[in-house]
Structure 1
Amino acid sequence: MTSTPSSPPKKPDYKPQPIVITALDGFLLSGTLYLPPGPINTSAPRAKGPSSTTPLSDLSVGATLKPEVDALTRVVIISSATATIQDFYYKFAFYLSQELGMIVVTYDNRGVGRSMPGDETLAFMKAEIDNNKNPASGSGSSHTSTPPPLPPKPTHSSSNKDTQPKKNPLIGFEATIVDWGTKDLPGVFSWVLKHYPHSPTIFTGHSVGGHLLPSLDSYYTRNLERVFFVSVNSAYWRNMNSPLFTYWFFFIASPLINKHYGYYPGKTLWNSMEDLPKGCFETWSYWASFRDYMLGGNPEWKLNFDLFRVPIYSIYFSDDDLSSTSAPSIMGAIPNTQRRCVGVDPVRDLNMKKVGHMGFFFNQCKQKLWKTVVQAWFVDGQGLDRETISERAKTESSYARL
């Protein structure tokens, strides 16, 4: 009698957990928590000093704690580009959590994606959290737990023919990109500090997500270990690849559109960006009028930029449609930290047709960029130069053909 070999058990479909993040002013933000498949170590590190009663110096304590700190599960915060929803980063977040074993938090800034004003679902989920019913607490719970239920849908009479079309929730909503930096992002860091108070944190900022980080008070970034910038360029209109078009876009056409709709209908008009609150687009265009970009628009941020000390690795691409050469100027605005800014030509260095402003987070970059640049920086703290990126991309390509 022959036995049929048993097929390996199927892995359960991974589902990240929805979370609710409270901004500093109480505004509710939609977030997502990605937990790794293996054990999660978020315990407080304990220094094992010598048996003598001689107190340890700060240097000795740091050296003693390092192995325990290195054993902790890292937390990655992904901060989105302007008018980009958190779901855009799903595959990248999935890679970080499931293949590199890190906890990942994504979120929508106010007025973008699922972080809309007066959202009943977020309020319902927040109530569930307050009642300790939400499994997505971020305290090392298993990711086999189920997300909280959705609130009951209101019943409407189908015979009511006088129902008015739904008003866009962004009309009349007061929000700016400065709010994203001074209220939303500190709220995200506070959420991480609350649930993972001992875990080293890695920050990934895409475009404006990187512009906002150095403006934060060091209170929120005290656990920040390193920073990764992707396409964090200046949108000063004269720096853009097409300055005349940019001038028309920021200062002539878009203000009229903003005024007409009461918000910026990016999804309707361009189908390549999300709708934005009116004030957020106004901040974007205001910053674009200054050579120093965000520091020209908000000079009060300069002190925190000067005080920022966390190492930064920044990568940008020569085919970026927005601004392919201005990333070094952003790094120059953060003068007092270790930093490396690397420009990559997708054709010459990666043998790829295009990466641009958004393409780094597409799955096509997994072999040539995620498994080289990201793994080196996130796991080993090594910022690769252009030549090394090119060589490792060739190696990954050869592996892909085997």
Structure 2
Amino acid sequence: MGETESDGVSSEDLTVPAVDGFALAGTLFMPRGRPAHAVLINSGAAIPRRIYRGFAAHLAQQGCAVLSYDYRGIGGSRPRSLKGFAASMTDWAALDITGAVGWMRENFGELPLRYVGHSFGGQTLGLLANNTEVSRALFIASQAGYWKLMAPGERWRVAAMLNGIGVPLTRALGYTPGWSGVGEDLPKGVFLQWVRWIMSPRYLFDDASLPGLANYASFNAPLRALCLADDPWATRPAVELLCAGYTGTTPELLSIAPRDVGATAIGHMGFFRAAHRCTLWRSATEWLLES
């Protein structure tokens, strides 16, 4: 467990228990004074928590206690070998994210809990049995990722990569290597479930085996979804489809083009670049921390 401090923000590496007790690697960012809000950052699929470090520190500078963490099988929560390691996207939602929400309420129960979901992290807020603990949610490039809703050129590349390379390779190796095009290495069960969702017209909403689907209607707090216009994965129709699943609230969907913030490109990952501190980060933080 290491602790560092810079720019008035301290960060500490720790472990967070999932619902089943699995130890998730996390980093807690704290402001110099008493925090006024608690913020949980929930990663995209195959994306380690280190990608969100700059944004997490920025939120801590605004007076927030911020936790970022790795899902089982990813980053610091990865076992020595992924071959034979049992994990699914269902586990990430029902065990890991649900556990992280519970840990934040246990440790910062007096503070309003804000939820930042990038890509997969926004898709699954609705699945959580404890999503009513969240008082405001910000989605960044979160979508119902049906392949035909992706940008025209990207959709065919993704379909070919997943089915022609990813699935056979995963079945042969027992896990999905990151060099196949998915980012980080992925557990077999995570990748195969993800492929099933991507190939289904309503994405995870078509998965009748998901017991948490009924929890979407329970979330009734303010929700803002940011759609980055040059994102080939989270296109506007895909973001709209995801938002339609949150029937207990009225999601606010904002489309942002790179030129709107003086950038040449943003894409699926670019929001978290420090270059957007005074534009995307500032406006997102102001909304997220509203009373």
If the length of structure 1 is used for normalisation, what is the TM-score?
0.67
Task: Look up the match of 1:184.
Answer: 96
Question: What is the alpha-carbon distance in structure 1 between the residues aligned to residue 24 and residue 289 of structure 2?
Answer: 29
Partner of 1:201: 113
* Partner Cα distance (2:165, 2:88) in 1: 19
Q: 2:55 pairs with 64, 85, 92, which one?
A: 92
**Partners of 2:131 and 2:218 within 8 A in 1:** no
Structure 2 contact 9–30 (Cα < 8 Å) conserved: no
Q: Distance in 2 between matches of 1:222 and 1:333?
A: 16
Residue identity matched to 2:273: F
Q: Is the 8 A contact 1:198 1:223 kept in 2?
A: no
- Segments of structure 1 that go 5 or more residues without pairing to the other structure are 1-9, 41-72, 118-167, 382-402
Contact 2:9 2:29 in 1 (8 A): no
Aligned pairs for 1:353-392 within 5 A: 353-371=264-282, 373-380=283-290
Match of 1:74 in 2: 37
**Residue in 2 that maps onto 1:276:** 186
Q: Is the 8 A contact 1:258 1:278 kept in 2?
A: yes
* Deviation, structure 1 residue 33: 0.5
Of 36, 46, 49, the match for 1:83: 46
Q: 1:297 aligns with which of 193, 207, 210?
A: 207
Higher relative contact order (CA 8 A, sep 6+): 2
Determine helix, strand or coil for the equivalent of 2:31.
coil
SS of residue matched to 1:355:
coil
- Aligned to 1:35, the other structure's residue is in SS state strand
Please name the residue that 2:232 is paired with: 321
Could you tell me which runs of 5 or more consecutive residues in structure 2 were left unpaired when the two chains were aligned.
none
Amino acid of the residue matched to residue 226 of structure 2? I
Matched residues in 1 for 2:150 and 2:158: separation?
A: 7
Q: 1:237 aligns with which of 129, 139, 147?
A: 147
Distance 1:21 1:313 in 2: 27
Q: Percent identity?
A: 29
- The one of 255, 262, 265 equivalent to 2:167 is 255
Q: Is the 8 A contact 2:170 2:176 kept in 1?
A: yes
Residues of 2 paired with 1:11 and 1:336: CA distance? 40
Question: What displacement does 1:212 show?
Answer: 0.9
* Contact 1:80–1:108, Cα closer than 8 Å, also in 2: yes
Tell me the CA shift for residue 301 of structure 1.
3.2
74-83 or 188-197: bigger deviation: 188-197
* Per-residue deviation, 1:379: 2.6
> Contact conserved, 2:71 with 2:77, CA < 8 A, in 1?
yes
Partner SS state of residue 187, structure 1: helix
CA distance in 1, matches of 2:122, 2:290: 21
Count the aligned residue pairs. Answer: 283
**Hey, what's the Cα distance between the residues in 1 that align with 2:105 and 2:278?**
32
Alpha-carbon shift at residue 188 of structure 1 (Å): 0.5
> Of the candidates 114, 128, 135, which is equivalent to residue 76 of structure 2?
114
Aligned to 1:20: 15
Per-residue CA deviation, residues 107-126 of structure 1 (Å, 9 max, x unaligned), is 00000001023xxxxxxxxx
Select the residue among 105, 115, 118 that pairs with 2:67: 105
Task: Report the CA distance shift for 1:319/1:236 in structure 2 as closer, same or farther (over 3 A).
Answer: same
More strand as a share of residues: 2
For residues 367-402 of structure 1, what are the alpha-carbon distances to aligned partners after superposition, in whole Å with 9 as ceiling and x for unaligned?
11111x223212325xxxxxxxxxxxxxxxxxxxxx
TM-score normalised over the length of structure 2: 0.92
C-alpha distance in 2 between matches for 1:364 and 1:171:
38
What is the rounded CA distance, in whole Å, between the counterparts of 2:289 and 2:105 in structure 1?
Answer: 21
Q: 1:194 to 1:202 in 2, by over 3 A?
A: same
The Cα shift of 1:12 comes to 7.5
In structure 1, what is the equivalent of residue 244 of structure 2?
Answer: 332
My pick for the range that moved more, 307-316 or 77-86, is: 307-316
Q: Which of 60, 64, 84 in structure 2 is aligned with 1:172?
A: 84
RMSD across aligned C-alpha pairs, in angstroms?
1.9
Alpha-carbon distance in structure 1 between the residues aligned to 2:225 and 2:180: 31
Pairwise CA distance, 1:15:
4.5
Residue identity opposite 1:101 in structure 2: G
Do the aligned partners of residues 352 and 223 (structure 1) sit closer, same or farther apart at CA in structure 2, a change above 3 Å counting?
same
Larger radius of gyration: 1
Task: Label 1:86 to 1:183 Cα distance change in 2 as closer, same or farther (>3 A).
Answer: same
Shift >4 Å, 4+ stretches: 10-15
